[in-house]
Amino acid sequence: MRFDILTIFPQLLTSPLEEGIIRRASAAGRISVNIHNIRDFALDKHAMTDDRPFGGGEGMVMKPEPIAGTLKFIEKENPGGRVIFLSPQGDTYTQATAERLAALEHLILLCGRYEGVDERIRENYVDEEISIGDFILTGGELAAMVLIDSVTRLLPGVLGCGDSVENDTFSRGLLKNPQYTRPRDYEGHPVPEVLLSGDHAAIAEWRLITSVRKTLEKRPELLAQAEFNKNELQILKKNNLLEAVAKYKDINRH
């Protein structure tokens, strides 16, 4: 997958791209990330990329010409990318969005600044607006990195264990079950015995039960999208969880 990022602060992005899974994915050729400085496409000698808003008001607005020039340059070199504007006005980013974007080959990420971008860019160049939450950042760069990270880990061959993606929190409408590692006892708090039993069926049942309980406690609305097979429904019923889950999801309680 190819990512192109449009920003006026390219140095903000260099360090995150040089660490961990993102670095390994890039080194392995699974992704390529290209950072474009919007200032390079400004039309005046001072490389201005923003100006005061018509009609008055606070702040500055990013000018259309440098952004359009950058997008046209990318389109000429690598046509067909999907242009995404990271914006608080966009649709809220979810795991389902990440999975949809991971199926594409080329994403172009526009990072806004100040009071936003000239509306003519939104109307004529942007394919989709995405928000990573109902809060305001100083710019779209961190949001772009969130998107790149979450999409990259879904690509084939990026994670060492393919099951990690399938069992992720949000992948099936449930929060992930509690996790433990060595030591077996830490400050008087032992690891649950079932995880040391070697009984894979019992472990799978424990993980399902604890996952459902955690979801009911913290994010019960997620259960509306959760999927359970017949065996799992029986496990929920046996552990007196079926009625609680059924409040959020239309399932056969019997």
88 is catalytic: yes
- Looking only at the bridges linking them, the beta strands covering 189-190 and 2-7 are unpaired
Distance CA 85, CA 229 (A): 39
Q: Please tell me the distance from the alpha carbon of residue 251 to that of residue 254, in angstroms, as a whole number.
A: 9
Which of 65, 149, 168, 205 does the annotation list as catalytic?
A: 168
Tokens representing 80? Answer: 């067909």
The terminus-to-terminus CA distance of the chain in angstroms comes to 46
87: three-class secondary structure by DSSP: strand
Q: 4, 16, 141, 153: which one is catalytic? A: 153
Known catalytic membership, residue 119: no
- Taking the C-alpha atoms of residue 231 and residue 243, their distance in angstroms, rounded to an integer, is 16
By three-state DSSP, how is residue 4 classified? strand
Q: One of 10, 53, 88, 178 is an active-site residue; which one?
A: 88
Which one of 75, 99, 115, 128 is the catalytic residue? 115
Q: Is 115 assigned a catalytic role? A: yes
Is 168 a known active-site residue?
A: yes
Q: How far is CA 2 from the centre of its chain?
A: 16
List the catalytic residues.
Answer: 88, 115, 153, 168
